[in-house]
Protein backbone atom coordinates (compact mmCIF):
# COMPACT_ATOMS: atom_id res chain seq x y z
CA UNK A 1 0.00 0.00 0.00
CA UNK A 2 1.15 3.52 -0.80
CA UNK A 3 2.68 5.10 2.33
CA UNK A 4 0.50 8.19 1.98
CA UNK A 5 -2.68 6.09 2.00
CA UNK A 6 -1.39 4.15 5.00
CA UNK A 7 -0.61 7.33 6.94
CA UNK A 8 -3.98 8.81 5.99
CA UNK A 9 -5.69 5.66 7.31
CA UNK A 10 -3.79 6.08 10.61
CA UNK A 11 -4.99 9.68 10.76
CA UNK A 12 -8.57 8.58 10.19
CA UNK A 13 -8.30 5.85 12.84
CA UNK A 14 -7.03 8.24 15.51
CA UNK A 15 -9.65 10.85 14.62
CA UNK A 16 -12.31 8.15 15.09
CA UNK A 17 -10.88 7.37 18.52
CA UNK A 18 -11.00 11.05 19.48
CA UNK A 19 -14.64 11.19 18.34
CA UNK A 20 -15.39 8.09 20.40
CA UNK A 21 -13.73 9.73 23.41
CA UNK A 22 -15.78 12.91 22.97
CA UNK A 23 -19.03 10.93 22.76
CA UNK A 24 -18.28 9.00 25.96
CA UNK A 25 -19.86 10.44 29.10
CA UNK A 26 -17.42 12.39 31.27
CA UNK A 27 -18.52 10.24 34.20
CA UNK A 28 -17.44 7.04 32.39
CA UNK A 29 -13.88 7.31 33.70
CA UNK A 30 -12.81 3.73 32.94
CA UNK A 31 -14.09 3.89 29.36
CA UNK A 32 -12.48 7.29 28.75
CA UNK A 33 -9.17 6.03 30.14
CA UNK A 34 -9.38 2.95 27.91
CA UNK A 35 -10.03 5.09 24.82
CA UNK A 36 -7.19 7.45 25.76
CA UNK A 37 -4.84 4.46 26.02
CA UNK A 38 -5.88 3.39 22.51
CA UNK A 39 -5.24 6.93 21.25
CA UNK A 40 -1.84 6.99 22.95
CA UNK A 41 -0.82 3.64 21.50
CA UNK A 42 -1.93 4.60 17.98
CA UNK A 43 -0.10 7.93 18.15
CA UNK A 44 3.08 6.35 19.52
CA UNK A 45 3.22 3.71 16.79
CA UNK A 46 2.32 6.22 14.09
CA UNK A 47 4.94 8.74 15.21
CA UNK A 48 7.65 6.11 15.49
CA UNK A 49 7.18 4.80 11.96
CA UNK A 50 7.10 8.31 10.54
CA UNK A 51 10.24 9.27 12.47
CA UNK A 52 12.11 6.05 11.69
CA UNK A 53 11.14 5.52 8.04
CA UNK A 54 9.03 8.17 6.30
CA UNK A 55 10.62 11.39 7.53
CA UNK A 56 14.25 10.30 7.05
CA UNK A 57 13.40 9.32 3.47
CA UNK A 58 11.83 12.72 2.80
CA UNK A 59 14.67 14.53 4.54
CA UNK A 60 17.20 12.81 2.25
CA UNK A 61 15.47 14.12 -0.86
CA UNK A 62 17.07 17.13 -2.51
CA UNK A 63 16.69 20.63 -1.13
CA UNK A 64 15.91 22.37 2.10
CA UNK A 65 12.14 22.10 1.77
CA UNK A 66 12.11 18.41 2.76
CA UNK A 67 14.34 19.06 5.75
CA UNK A 68 12.23 22.05 6.82
CA UNK A 69 8.95 20.13 6.55
CA UNK A 70 10.38 17.22 8.54
CA UNK A 71 11.89 19.52 11.16
CA UNK A 72 8.53 21.19 11.75
CA UNK A 73 6.72 17.84 11.91
CA UNK A 74 9.24 16.52 14.45
CA UNK A 75 8.63 19.55 16.68
CA UNK A 76 4.91 18.82 16.65
CA UNK A 77 5.55 15.14 17.40
CA UNK A 78 7.59 16.19 20.44
CA UNK A 79 4.77 18.44 21.67
CA UNK A 80 2.27 15.62 21.20
CA UNK A 81 4.54 13.17 23.06
CA UNK A 82 4.81 15.62 25.96
CA UNK A 83 1.02 15.97 26.11
CA UNK A 84 0.61 12.17 26.03
CA UNK A 85 2.98 11.90 28.98
CA UNK A 86 1.16 14.61 30.91
CA UNK A 87 -2.24 13.03 30.29
CA UNK A 88 -1.05 9.53 31.18
CA UNK A 89 -0.04 10.85 34.61
CA UNK A 90 -3.58 12.08 35.27
CA UNK A 91 -6.66 10.19 36.32
CA UNK A 92 -9.74 10.59 34.10
CA UNK A 93 -11.49 12.10 37.12
CA UNK A 94 -8.88 14.90 37.38
CA UNK A 95 -10.23 18.26 36.29
CA UNK A 96 -7.33 18.77 33.83
CA UNK A 97 -7.79 15.40 32.09
CA UNK A 98 -10.48 16.46 29.60
CA UNK A 99 -8.80 19.80 28.96
CA UNK A 100 -5.47 18.12 28.16
CA UNK A 101 -7.13 15.56 25.88
CA UNK A 102 -8.87 18.42 24.05
CA UNK A 103 -5.51 20.18 23.61
CA UNK A 104 -4.03 16.91 22.35
CA UNK A 105 -6.86 16.53 19.86
CA UNK A 106 -6.39 20.10 18.59
CA UNK A 107 -2.62 19.58 18.16
CA UNK A 108 -3.07 16.24 16.42
CA UNK A 109 -5.80 17.64 14.15
CA UNK A 110 -3.60 20.60 13.18
CA UNK A 111 -0.65 18.28 12.50
CA UNK A 112 -2.80 15.99 10.35
CA UNK A 113 -3.98 18.92 8.25
CA UNK A 114 -0.46 20.25 7.73
CA UNK A 115 0.98 16.83 7.03
CA UNK A 116 -1.68 15.85 4.53
CA UNK A 117 -1.44 19.20 2.77
CA UNK A 118 2.28 20.01 2.79
CA UNK A 119 4.24 16.82 3.43
CA UNK A 120 2.01 14.66 1.23
CA UNK A 121 2.31 17.18 -1.61
CA UNK A 122 6.09 17.22 -1.23
CA UNK A 123 6.20 13.40 -1.24
CA UNK A 124 3.94 13.16 -4.29
CA UNK A 125 6.12 15.66 -6.19
CA UNK A 126 9.48 14.13 -5.24
CA UNK A 127 8.77 10.38 -5.03
CA UNK A 128 7.87 7.81 -7.62
CA UNK A 129 4.84 5.59 -7.12
CA UNK A 130 7.23 2.68 -6.62
CA UNK A 131 9.06 4.54 -3.83
CA UNK A 132 5.76 5.35 -2.11
CA UNK A 133 4.68 1.70 -2.38
CA UNK A 134 8.02 0.46 -0.99
CA UNK A 135 7.83 2.93 1.89
CA UNK A 136 4.28 1.75 2.55
CA UNK A 137 5.39 -1.87 2.83
CA UNK A 138 8.26 -0.89 5.12
CA UNK A 139 5.99 1.23 7.34
CA UNK A 140 3.34 -1.53 7.53
CA UNK A 141 5.95 -4.10 8.62
CA UNK A 142 7.42 -1.78 11.24
CA UNK A 143 3.96 -1.00 12.60
CA UNK A 144 3.32 -4.73 13.12
CA UNK A 145 6.58 -5.09 15.04
CA UNK A 146 5.91 -2.02 17.21
CA UNK A 147 2.36 -3.19 17.89
CA UNK A 148 3.65 -6.56 19.11
CA UNK A 149 6.29 -4.85 21.27
CA UNK A 150 3.75 -2.54 22.90
CA UNK A 151 1.38 -5.46 23.49
CA UNK A 152 4.05 -7.42 25.36
Question: Which value, to the nearest 10 degrees, does the dihedral of the CA atoms of residues 128, 124, 74, 59 take?
Answer: 40
**Buried b vs exposed e over 25-64: b needs ≥16 C-beta within 10 Å?**
eeeeeeebbebbebbbbbbebbbbbbeebbbebbeebeee
Whole-number Å distance between alpha carbons of 86 and 75: 17
pLDDT level of residue 16 (50, 70, 90 thresholds): very high
Whole-number Å distance between alpha carbons of 88 and 43: 13
Q: Taking each helix axis from N to C terminus, what angle separates 3-23 and 95-114, rounded to the nearest 10 degrees? A: 150
Report all structural domains of the chain as residue ranges with CATH numbers, in order of start: 3-151 (1.20.120.520)
Q: If you ran DSSP here, which 8-state letter would residue 152 be given?
A: -
pLDDT surpassing 90 at residue 65: no
The percent of residues in the chain predicted with pLDDT above 70, rounded, is 99
Amino acid sequence: MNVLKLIKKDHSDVQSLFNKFEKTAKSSHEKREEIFEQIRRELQIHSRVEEEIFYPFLKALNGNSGRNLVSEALKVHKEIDELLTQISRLQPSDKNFDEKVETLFENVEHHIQEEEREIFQFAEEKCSEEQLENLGREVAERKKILDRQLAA
